[in-house]
């Protein structure tokens, strides 16, 4: 099955039995330019940053600033924060012609989100989540358009299984499980919990949390039996991770420069991504100099002088 954009549909990827590799929704970071970069390096599916559905519907300015895409930016999932079914369904109908699915954020643990009725507080409202999934399913005309949820786990895993089974009954396409509770941040991921959820539903399950190298993709798949994995910080540090690179290759650095310049990426975003990419492959004095740079031209000059271009015959001596 091909999507309207001519790409293989996400559900077909699951049916083919491949471990689908996804770029997580990341506020400020998983925007079009970064999505364009990771797609060059074996990322199968990308998510937008989380968008507050009510603001998106209310403001043209919010729509223009929060949702930017192009024809090659597929398959694309738009992630929304929402607290009522009709708002989510209305937002889904707006983005459906330009994307392959919507995802409901049920995992953001930040206090502001939970106090507003968004994010991880929804894992304690399974009937509401069920209703929101059903509304999108009923109101988006395209039967191939996906509706998914991204969740965290409960301390009592029976509650998480109940949530997932309710979402499945409402027609959820797949479920992404961040294998930590709402209170946990950097504690080890509960892979056994992800496996329990995978074994409790028939829809595809995606594992999220601590995917830092390609080998983590396979080990997580082996441990849990999931249909795919989602990475966030691992891709920020190395956008070529899914292609098997241990650290960010020089080609990827220059690809980012080209994409960011072509798309007019604001300097702060352009620079922050490079700070992440260079962290593991540069010394502390080098990072101190690089982090202090304040213009795109200064960054390009620094990269050229420090590492050389990808076409430079001397680039074999660079640490990438």
58 known member of a binding site: no
Q: Is 25 annotated as a binding residue?
A: yes
319 appears as a binding residue in the annotation: no
Radius of gyration over alpha carbons of the chain, in Å?
A: 20
Is 233 annotated as ligand-binding?
A: yes
Burial of 309 (0-12, 13-18, 19+ CB in 10 A): middle
Report whether 35 belongs to an annotated binding site.
Answer: no
Yes or no: say if 36 and 15 are a contact pair by the CB < 8 Å rule: no
39 is in an annotated binding site: no
Determine whether the annotation assigns residue 79 to a binding site.
yes
CB 226 within 8 A of CB 196: no
3-state secondary structure of 151: strand
- Which runs of consecutive H residues, i.e. helices, occur in 201-249? 214-224, 233-237
Residue 46: active-site member: no
**Active-site choice (46, 108, 121, 164):** 108
Spatial separation of the C-alpha atoms in residues 116 and 98, rounded to whole Å: 28
User: Count of residues for the chain?
Assistant: 320
Letter string b/e over residues 193-225, b meaning 16 or more CB atoms within 10 A of that residue's CB: bbbbbbebbebbbbbbbbbebbebbeebeeebe
How are beta strands 175-178 and 76-81 bridged, if at all? unpaired
1, two tokens: 């099955």
Tell which residue, 312, 310, 319, has the closest CA to residue 277: 319
Per-residue DSSP letter, 313: T
Task: Tell me the C-alpha distance between 311 and 141, whole Å.
Answer: 48
Distance CA(228)–CA(215), nearest Å, equals: 13
Report DSSP state, residue 21: E
Dihedrals phi, psi of 278, to nearest 5 degrees: -90, -10
- For 316, residues 6+ apart whose C-beta sits below 8 A from its C-beta are none
User: Which residues line the annotated binding site for FMN?
Assistant: 25-27, 79, 178, 232-233
- Binding site residue list: 25-27, 79, 178, 232-233
The set of catalytic residues is 108
């Amino acid at each position: 099955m091909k999507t309207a954009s001519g790409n293989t549909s996400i559900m077909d990827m699951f049916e083919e039995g491949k471990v689908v590799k996804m770029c997580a929704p990341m506020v400020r970071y998983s925007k079009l330019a970064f999505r364009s970069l990771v797609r060059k390096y074996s990322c199968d599916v990308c998510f937008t940053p989380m968008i507050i559905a009510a603001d998106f519907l209310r403001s043209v300015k919010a729509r223009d600033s929060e949702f930017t895409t192009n024809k090659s930016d597929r398959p694309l999932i738009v992630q929304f924060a929402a607290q009522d079914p009709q708002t989510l369904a209305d937002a889904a109908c707006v983005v459906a012609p330009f994307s392959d699915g919507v995802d409901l954020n049920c995992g953001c643990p930040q206090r502001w989100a939970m106090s507003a009725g968004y994010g991880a507080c929804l894992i304690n409202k399974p009937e509401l989540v069920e209703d929101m999934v059903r509304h999108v399913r009923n109101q988006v005309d395209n039967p191939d358009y996906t509706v998914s949820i991204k969740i965290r786990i409960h301390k009592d895993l029976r509650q998480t299984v109940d949530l997932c089974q309710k979402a499945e009954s409402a027609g959820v396409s797949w479920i992404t499980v961040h294998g930590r509770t709402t209170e946990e941040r950097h504690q080890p991921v509960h892979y056994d919990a992800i496996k329990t959820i995978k074994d409790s539903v028939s829809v595809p399950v995606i594992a999220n949390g601590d995917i830092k190298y390609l080998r983590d993709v396979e080990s997580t798949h082996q441990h849990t039996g999931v249909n795919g994995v989602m990475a966030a910080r691992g891709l920020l540090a190395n956008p070529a991770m899914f292609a098997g690179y241990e650290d960010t290759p020089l080609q990827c650095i220059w690809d980012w420069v080209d994409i960011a310049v072509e798309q007019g990426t604001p300097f702060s975003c352009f620079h922050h991504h490079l700070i992440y990419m260079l962290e593991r492959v540069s010394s502390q004095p080098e990072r101190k100099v690089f982090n202090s740079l304040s213009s795109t031209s200064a960054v390009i000059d620094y990269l050229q002088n420090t590492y050389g271009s990808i076409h430079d015959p001397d680039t074999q001596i660079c640490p990438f």
